[in-house]
Structure 1
Amino acid sequence: MTPKRPLADRPTPRAARPSRSDRLSRSDLRSRAGRAALVWSLVYATGAALAALTGPAFGYALLAKETGAAAETAAAALYGAAAVLGYAMLRRPHAKRLSTAAWVVVALCLTSGFAALLSPLHLLFFLSRNQPAIDWAALVNQSLAVLGAVLWGYAALAHRRGAHGTCLHCGGHTPAPEAHRGTRAGLIAAAALVPYAALKTAWALGATLGFTGVGRPGVDPEYTSDLGILLYDHGVDVTAVLAVLGMVLALALTRPWGRRLPRLPLLALGWAGAGALAPFGAFLAATGVLAWTGSADLDLADHAPWVFVVAYGGFSCYGLALGRATLLYQRAARRACDHCRSRPRVTSARRGGG
């Protein structure tokens, strides 16, 4: 009779070891992400260089204004350096520090494309009077920068997971328990918009709380569209309605009924709202504080300083809480990775008496 071999001395089952095709697919996935980020950086840097040399800004000028070649030259240098980093990530797939540097490029792309996150505000051009013309070149450029942030984020994540030996698809993480879906973050985000929605609704109903000018607060006939004025005359402020929709979004990310809604649109709206409103609200709140304390003489457009701090500044709290709720929703809604699930776990612990 053939003696039994100890468990620790038995060879690892073939099904538990990554196959050659699996190893190749992992490497190919990481290289595709890195190549996409590299190609994007080369194209974006080349466009900036052409803008600096030929004259037209192509949307690279600072704050979409003609500021000369300085902004375009800086963009060409920075994104050229990003292309070098992308090449280094392809050549050195196990260098963990490179993926950390890649997140700096993500932040740079978001800085370049920040205005695109506020692009829904361009709807005012179609709904209002006397709005400035849309700079379509700048909007396209900023949208490309946001696309670059997505590509670089994916490349950084794939490189980091490859360097640490974790699954490139899910990072080896398991879905978060349902009890930790960020209910508190959703409630905080919804509550942060209550002062703004209540104030704008009160103005639409005829109140003048927090308004120091002449006329109707919250609506300017010179700029507001006919539809906006009609709704305002019936006590409905369009921006207050948008605030209520923002509350619904925050609750959808944290309440059980939100799980019946499409996952990707919720994530896209959550991250876009968090990235756009958190800094925007902080800027408005800081403006109100400076005017309220008398530290700066600022034009608040006939609004009391506390309106900027309490109502408009709530956008910052909303953005931060919405970002938290979106992150927790993303973790809780993460599905089990098919690649990890197809590999059975092998525990080869040496049991006594080997």
Structure 2
Amino acid sequence: MTPKKLMAAWPSWADRAALVWSLLYAAGAALAALTGPAFGYALLGKATGTAPEATAAVLYGAAAALAYALLRRPAARRLSAAAWPVVALCLTSGFPALLSPLHLLSFLSRNQPPVDPAALANQAFAVLGAVLWGCAALARRRRVLGLCPHCGGRSTAPPGPVRTRAGLVAVTAFVPYTVLKTAWALGLTVGYTGTGRPGADPAYTSDFGLWLYDHGVDVTAVLAVLGMLLALALTRPWGRRLPRLPLLALGWAGAGALAPFGAFLAALGVLSWTGAIGTGPADHAPWVPVVAYGGFSCYGLALGRATLVRQRSGRAACGRCRTGVPPLTSARTGGA
């Protein structure tokens, strides 16, 4: 079946696809827990029967049970709501894969840990699970609300301008980080408590990256500016001239990767600041991960909102809605 036909058949396959994926991922985790870390499941240790693999087997086994229950009880509202936490669980397992494109910037860094192909494949499969479960959860939500499961019951009017402030919020969230890293590249040491140069470690930064840093250009600050442009492209009229699908793919990948990453760094900074933990980012004042890196999380959330609005604004009504056929309402009277 071609991708076009597959999308046309959605959401009829969503629940079954989520069930099959959950069974495969849970079975792999169970096998890794019984025989030793394999297939990229090892997270915390290498001993046979380690907790991460066993925990993954239990959690994704429960997800498979949920998918089966959704197939048997299509009108259950509470079961439908439980699908979204599974999406978050899949994104947690596949989070490193969302950041894997950073390895393409290897010419700007050195001494990076080698990529584990098995782990990367496992994480990419987990991201696929997040997509499948997201499709199932979205289709279920539309069915519960009595909307068209194909297009959400959108009107037949042509797409209008994207009206959201999420792009500006995303730009604002990245300003502290960009200003701080640029200040470090220009020779200032605000927020830096160690010795030497902040923001450029010769052990990990390539010669080209150090050359740019010597001239006041921090590579990560440049990437932040590119992230700002992405958020604006999703929400401003000039972004309509750019290819839609690549923008949506970059938007969802950035939101899924940076929102939890920023939250982790911000939480680490808060715990270090309050003295709850004795460790934190080395040679940095506690407010640095809170104010600067915490902006990653705000940016990720705003970018997700901008991407969602852009996706909805460019979606045309399906043939069922254009011909006036009522949407499916199989779940309006469903129980829990």
Q: Is the alpha carbon distance of 1:311 and 1:103 closer, same or farther for their aligned partners in structure 2, counting shifts above 3 Å?
A: closer
Equivalent AA in structure 1 for residue 147 of structure 2: T
Among candidates 244, 247, 250, match of residue 263 of structure 1: 244
Equivalent AA in structure 2 for residue 234 of structure 1: H
Determine the structure 2 residue equivalent to 1:111: 92
1:66 and 2:46 aligned: yes
Equivalent AA in structure 1 for residue 321 of structure 2: C
Determine the structure 2 residue equivalent to 1:291: 272
Equivalent position SS for 1:253 = helix
1:332 and 2:313 aligned: yes
Distance 2:312 2:258 in 1: 22
1:181 and 2:153 aligned: no
Q: Is the alpha carbon distance of 1:194 and 1:99 closer, same or farther for their aligned partners in structure 2, counting shifts above 3 Å?
A: same
The answer as to whether partners of 1:176 and 1:331 remain within 8 angstroms in 2 is no
Determine the structure 2 residue equivalent to 1:4: none
Determine the structure 1 residue equivalent to 2:332: none
The answer as to whether partners of 1:61 and 1:67 remain within 8 angstroms in 2 is no
The answer as to whether partners of 1:61 and 1:68 remain within 8 angstroms in 2 is no
Determine the structure 1 residue equivalent to 2:258: 277
* CA shift digits 1:302-354 (9 cap, x unpaired): 22223222222221221222222222222222222233113368xxxxxxxxx
Determine the structure 1 residue equivalent to 2:63: 82
1:131 and 2:112 aligned: yes
1:40 and 2:21 aligned: yes
Question: TM-score scaled by structure 1?
Answer: 0.80
* CA shift digits 1:122-148 (9 cap, x unpaired): 346564222222222212111101101
Equivalent AA in structure 1 for residue 163 of structure 2: R
The answer as to whether partners of 2:177 and 2:295 remain within 8 angstroms in 1 is yes
Q: Is the alpha carbon distance of 1:317 and 1:29 closer, same or farther for their aligned partners in structure 2, counting shifts above 3 Å?
A: closer
Gaps of 5+ in 2: 1-5, 327-336
Q: How many angstroms does 1:294 deviate by?
A: 4.1
User: Which has more radius of gyration?
Assistant: 1
Q: How many angstroms does 1:258 deviate by?
A: 0.8
Determine the structure 1 residue equivalent to 2:174: 193
Percentage of pairs with the same residue = 73
The answer as to whether partners of 1:40 and 1:148 remain within 8 angstroms in 2 is yes
Question: TM-score scaled by structure 2?
Answer: 0.84
* CA shift digits 1:29-87 (9 cap, x unpaired): 44422222222122112211221222233221235x43642222222232223223323
Determine the structure 2 residue equivalent to 1:230: 211
Aligned length: 319
Distance 1:145 1:160 in 2: 22
Distance 1:87 1:163 in 2: 17
| Most deviating of 333-342 and 217-226 | 333-342
**Cα root mean square deviation, aligned:** 2.8
1:21-40 equivalences under 5 Å are 29-40=10-21
Equivalent AA in structure 2 for residue 66 of structure 1: K
Distance 2:60 2:184 in 1: 47
* CA shift digits 1:171-198 (9 cap, x unpaired): 213479846621x221121122122112
Equivalent position SS for 1:62 = coil
Q: How many angstroms does 1:256 deviate by?
A: 0.5
Among candidates 75, 83, 88, match of residue 102 of structure 1: 83
Distance 1:169 1:57 in 2: 39
Equivalent AA in structure 2 for residue 55 of structure 1: G
Distance 2:236 2:162 in 1: 11
Gaps of 5+ in 1: 1-24, 346-354
Q: Is the alpha carbon distance of 1:283 and 1:104 closer, same or farther for their aligned partners in structure 2, counting shifts above 3 Å?
A: closer
Q: Is the alpha carbon distance of 1:54 and 1:224 closer, same or farther for their aligned partners in structure 2, counting shifts above 3 Å?
A: same
Distance 1:131 1:257 in 2: 38
Q: How many angstroms does 1:107 deviate by?
A: 2.2
